[in-house]
Amino acid sequence: MTESAPVPVMVNGFDGSGLAGLPASTRKLIARREAALGGAYRLFYDQPVEFARGSGVHLYDPDGVEYLDAYNNVPSVGHSHPAVTSAVARQLATLNTHTRYLTDGVVDYAERLLATHTVGPAHAMFTCTGSEANDLGLRIARAFTGGTGVIVTGNAYHGVTAAVAELSPSLGANVPLGAHVRAVPAPVPGAEPDFVAGVAAAIADLRRHGVRLAAFLADSIFSSDGVLPSTGSGFLARAASLVREAGGLYIADEVQSGFGRTGSQLWGYQRHPGLVPDIVTMGKPMGNGLPIAGLVARQPVLAEFGQRARYFNTFGGNPVCVAAASAVLDVLADEGLPANASSTGEYLRSALAGLAASSPVLADVRGVGLYLGVDVVWPATGLPSAELAGAIVNGMRARRVLISATGPHGHVLKIRPPLPFGRAHADQLTTVLSEVLATLLPPAARGYGAADGCECQANWDCQAVRPSAFGPLPTNRRPTTRSAGAVDRAPDGWRIGMSQRLSSRT
C-alpha cells in the first residue's frame, strides 16, 4: 500500500458524531447500510435523514414529517411530478428497448433538445449519467483535436469515470489529476481577468510540456468552485477563444446549470455574452430522476468521432428515460418553471442579501435563477468558515429545511431547490436561516467565556462555537497540529476553525 494524503472531509458529510441523537430505527438502517454498501458512500448531515416520500418541493420522513427541499436539482420539476410519473409508467408498460432499433421518441426528443441550444447545427447523443456525458465529450474532443490536454477550474467536479475523475480536483488529493490536466483559478467575483490569465498560463504550460490541448471543460455556474454566476465582461468567451486559438474545444458542462435552473434562457452558457460552446454536456435534471444524460455537439466537431468510432450505451436514450425527459421539457414550458426560477430566485437572493447585511457571519450572496451561494465567514477575520457553514446547514436540517455547502473551503451555503420553489418557500427558508443565525451569537454574548475553559479570548476571535447547539466536534475533525493556529487551544468539544481542505461532491 502506498502512502496517501489524509482522507478529506466531504462537505456536509456524516461522520458519526450525531448518531446518538437519531431514532433507533435510523441508527439500525445506518448500520445495515454500512454492512451492505461499499465504504466510499457518504451520507449528508451530522444527523442523516431518511426519506420515504417526495412531492413538489417537499420530502417526507417515514413518520410523514415534512422537509422543505432547497437542495435537490435532480427532481427539478418537483419530486414525483405526476406528468413525469405517468409518462414513464405509460412507456414502461408499452415498450423499452434501445437506440439500435428505430423508435420515434428518441428522435423527437433530440429534435426538441437541439432546438433549445444556440451552438449552430449540432447533433445529440445520449448517456445515462453526467459523468458519461463528460467522458464522451472528452473522447469527441480528443478525436477532433488530436490532443489530450484538458483545462478545468481549481475545485471543479466533472464526474466519476476514471477519465473524468482525473478532471475533478474537488475529489481531493487522493484522486490525483491526470498528467495532461491543468487546473486554473476559478472566476471568483472581481477576479475574472485573473481567470482568463490562468487559462492562458495553463495553455502555455501544457505546450511547454509537449501536451496538445484537447479541451477546456467548465461548469457554466462553477458550482463546486463556490457557485460563481458572474458573467463579467464576457470572460468565458475570451477564455474560449484562447482555447480555440490553441487548437482546443470549449465544453460547457451544464449538468448543474442546465434545464432552466439559471432562469429563462434554459442553459447556463447562454448567459455568458458571446460564448458558443463546441460541446454541451447535460444530465441530472434531464429526466427528473430517471437516468438520462447526454450531449449536443457542433456537427463538424462530432463528425470526426462518428466516422472513427461506434457508440452504443445500452441504457442511454432508452424509450422510458426519453419519455421522462420529454415530460420534463413539457412541464418546464407548461408551468413556466424557468421564469419562476428567475423571479423566485431574485426574490430569494435579495432576501438573503438583506439577511447578510445584518449578520456578521454571512458575507457575499451570489446567485442566478434558483442557484444561490452565500459565503459564511468568521466575523473577526472575514475568513471562510466551513465550521459555521456546517453549523448553519445542520441547524437548518434540524428545522427541516434542506440545504448544503460547497466551495474549496466548504464555506459557501448551497441553495438549489426544485424549480417550483415559490415565494412562500423562499420566506420559510429565510426565516429558518435567520433563526439558525441567532443561535450562532458570539460566545461572549451568550454568556460563555474563560470560565468554560477557553484559553483564547472569549469572543469571536477564538473562532469557536459553543457545542451544545450542534454536538461535539468529531474526533476526525479535531486539528492535530499547531498549524490550526491559536484556535487549537479552544476547549475539547468546541468547534474550531481549521484550514483543512474539504472535498466537495455535488
Site residues for ligand PMP per CB under 6 A = 129-131, 134, 157-160, 219, 223, 253, 255-256, 283-284, 293, 506
Nearer to ligand PMP, 135 or 387 (CB): 135
φ/ψ bin of 429: left (φ > 0), alpha (ψ from -120 to 50), beta (otherwise): alpha
Q: How far is the CB of 159 from ligand PMP (least distance, A)?
A: 4
For ligand PMP, which residue has the nearest CB?
130
Nearer to ligand PMP, 256 or 503 (CB): 256
The residues, any chain, with a CB within 8 Å of residue 357's CB and separated by 6 or more, are none
Q: How far is the CB of 4 from ligand PMP (least distance, A)?
A: 23
Q: How far is the CB of 353 from ligand PMP (least distance, A)?
A: 25
186: number of Cβ within 10 Å = 24
Three cell numbers written together for 470? 450542534
| DSSP-derived secondary structure for 411-446 | -EEEE---TT--HHHHHHHHHHHHHHHHTT--GGGG
Q: How far is the CB of 133 from ligand PMP (least distance, A)?
A: 7
The residues, any chain, with a CB within 8 Å of residue 25's CB and separated by 6 or more, are 62
Nearer to ligand PMP, 153 or 326 (CB): 153
Nearer to ligand PMP, 134 or 340 (CB): 134
For the chain, give me the number of helices (H) and strands (E)? 12, 19
Nearer to ligand PMP, 164 or 484 (CB): 164
Q: How far is the CB of 253 from ligand PMP (least distance, A)?
A: 5
Q: How far is the CB of 219 from ligand PMP (least distance, A)?
A: 4
Three cell numbers written together for 246? 490553441
Separation between Cα atoms, residue 293 and residue 497, nearest integer Å: 39
Cα–Cα distance list, 27 to 54, 261, 391, 467, 484 (Å) = 22, 35, 22, 22, 33
Nearer to ligand PMP, 157 or 460 (CB): 157
Cα–Cα distance list, 291 to 32, 178, 320, 324, 381 (Å) = 26, 27, 10, 9, 44
Nearer to ligand PMP, 154 or 442 (CB): 154
Q: How far is the CB of 29 from ligand PMP (least distance, A)?
A: 23
